[in-house]
Structure 1
Amino acid sequence: MNKTLKIVSLLLAYPSAELHAALPELKAALGEAGLDARRGRLLERLIDDLAACDLYDAQERYVFLFDRTRSLSLHLFEHVHGESRDRGQAMVDLLAMYEADGFEIDAKELPDYLPLFLEYLSVKPADEAGELLGQTAHILAVLRERLKKRKSIYANAFAVLEALTRAKPDAGLTRDLLAMPEDDPADLEALDRVWEEEVVTFGGNAGEGACGPDRLQRQVRAARRNPAGAPQAPNA
C-alpha cells in the first residue's frame, strides 16, 4: 500500500520534466506495489498516457484541470471549507500532525495538497494510512466521478485511491458535493464569481462522526496534543 501511495502521489503532482523522465522507473515500480492486475493496469495506463504526452501539453492539461477548476482542486479542505477561516485552522492542525511525525514539507505548498498528503501517508503504517485516507473517501469519489465525466485519464488514480481506503464514501457528503455546480475553467469571469461565493456547508452537524476532513481535523488535533509514539485517546 505504501509504495502505491507514493506512486500515486507522484502521478498527481505537476508533470515536471523530472517526473516525465522518471515515468519508466515508476512503471517498473508498479510491479513491486502489490496491486491486483486491474488496478495496476489503471495506473499503468496513466503512466503511459503521461509518457506519450508532450511535456508542455501535459502541464497545460494539468493546470486546466486542477489549478483552474475549483471543483477539481487537489486541495482537500477546499471541498469542505472553501476560503473560510475554518480552512486556515485545518491547515495549522494538519501541518502540526506532519511536524509531530517529523515530516517536513516544502514551504511553497499547502498542507492539504493531495499529493503531499499521500506522500505523508506513504511513510505511515499501512493500517493508519488506510484509516486517514478513508476519511477523505467522499472527496476522492467525487473527484473520480468528475474526472470520469470529463473523460480524463486522471480518474484512474482516484479509482485506485478509493480501493485503497477500504471505506465507503459518506453518501450525504458525496451527494452534496456532486450537487455543486462545476465551473468552466475557460470562462474566466464565471471562475471569478465562483471563487467569490461563500463556502458551502452540509448541515449543522456535518462531519460529526462522519468519514471526512472534519473527522480528520479532530484526529490531527489529537496528534498535536500527543506527539508521535505517544498513546492516542480513543475515537480521536
Structure 2
Amino acid sequence: MKSFKALSALLCYPTPALVESVPDIRAALHEERLLSPATLAELEALLGWLASADIYELEETYVLLFDRSRSLALNLFEHVHGESRDRGQAMVDLKALYESHGLQFSSSELPDFLPLFLEFLSILPLDEARSHLADAAHIVRELSERLERRESPYAALLAAVAELAGDDAADVQLVEDDNVKPDDLTALDAAWQEAAVTFGPGEALDGCSRDRLAIRMRAARRTPAAPA
C-alpha cells in the first residue's frame, strides 16, 4: 500500500533523493486516501519544509531528534522494553515475522526501526497491516505527542502513522519521556550512558543509534517466500 510506503520514506534520514520525491509522496498519499483530509492537511507543513529547507538543516534536525534523543528514537521496542533483555526476544520474534513473509535484511538493520516496519506493512493486505500496526500505535501516538511538545513538524507524520492503525490500538506501558531538548547535547550524552544489550547470538547494540549521521534506511530486499 502506497500510504505505508510513503510514510516510511518520510521517516527516513533526509537525502536529496527524498527531497526530490516529495511531490510523488504527496500525490501517493492523496491518491490512496487512507488518511483523513485533516491529517493530510497537517502533513503539508512537513512536506513543505522538506521541499524547501536546506539539506543540511534537514539532516541536522533529523539526527538531533531521532538519533540523539533517546525518548524520540524510532526503534519501537526502545519505548517498551528499554534496555531490558525482553527487547532481544521481541527483536527475534519481529524478524521471524518478516522472514515468514519472504523479507530479508542485513544484520545492521534493527527489526523494530519504524520505517522498516512500515515498509514491511506496505506489502500486506490493509486489514493485516493495520492489525500489526495497532500493536505499535500507542508508541507512535506518544512519539507524536512528544514531538508536538518540541514543536516539530514531524509530529504530524507520527500522528498520520497512528491514524493508519485504526481504532484497535493496543495500550502498553512506555518508558517515560526524558524531556531533554534536542539541542541539549550534554543531557543527551548523559541519557546514553548505559550498558549495551545483546539481541540474539553475536549481535549487540553498542549505542549505534546515537550518532547515525552516515546511516540510511535501506528498503528490505524482497525474496520469494519458501514453499510450504
Bin the TM-score by the shorter chain: 0.7 to 0.9
Q: Confirm or deny that 1:4 pairs with 2:3.
A: yes
Matched residue SS, 1:193 = helix
Structural mapping, 1:35-184, within 5 Å:
35-167=35-167, 173=173, 177=175, 179-184=176-181
Please say if residues 76 and 139 of structure 1, whose CA atoms lie closer than 8 Å, have aligned partners that are also in contact. Answer: yes
The answer (yes or no) to whether the contact 1:141–1:169 under 8 Å persists in 2 is: no
Q: Which has the higher contact order (CA 8 A, sep 6+)?
A: 2
Instruction: Could you list the structure 1 runs, at least 4 aligned residues long, displaced by more than 6 angstroms after superposition.
Output: 227-230
Please give the alpha-carbon distance, in whole angstroms, between the structure 1 residues aligned to 2:155 and 2:177.
19
Percent identity among equivalent residues? Answer: 48
Q: How does 1:2-41 map to 2 (within 5 A)?
A: 2-34=1-33, 35-41=35-41
Change (3 A) 1:16 1:106: farther
Distance 1:111 1:128 in 2: 18
Aligned-partner Cα distance in 1 for 2:85–2:171 = 26
Moved more, 161-170 or 3-12: 161-170
Separation in 2, partners of 1:55, 1:103: 31
Alpha-carbon shift at residue 105 of structure 1 (Å): 2.3
Q: Is the 8 A contact 1:137 1:167 kept in 2?
A: no
Report deviation, 1:42: 2.4
Cα deviation, residue 229, structure 1? 9.5
Secondary structure of the corresponding residue to residue 123 of structure 2? coil
Give me the CA root mean square deviation: 2.4
| Alpha carbons of structure 1 residues 166 and 228: separation in structure 2 relative to 1, 3 Å | farther
3-state SS of 2:110 partner: coil
Structure 1, unpaired ranges of 5+: 199-226, 231-236
Give the aligned length: 199
Report the TM-score, using the length of structure 2 for normalisation. Answer: 0.78
Unaligned runs of 5+ in 2: 196-224
Q: What amino acid is the match of 2:140?
A: L
Moved more, 131-140 or 38-47: 38-47
In 2, are the aligned partners of 1:4 and 1:30 still within 8 Å (CA)?
yes
TM-score (norm 1): 0.75
The letter of the residue matching 1:97 is: L
> Contact conserved, 1:9 with 1:119, CA < 8 A, in 2?
yes
Q: Give the counterpart letter for 1:108 in structure 2.
A: S
Distance 2:14 2:117 in 1: 17
- CA shift, 1:27, in A, is 1.8
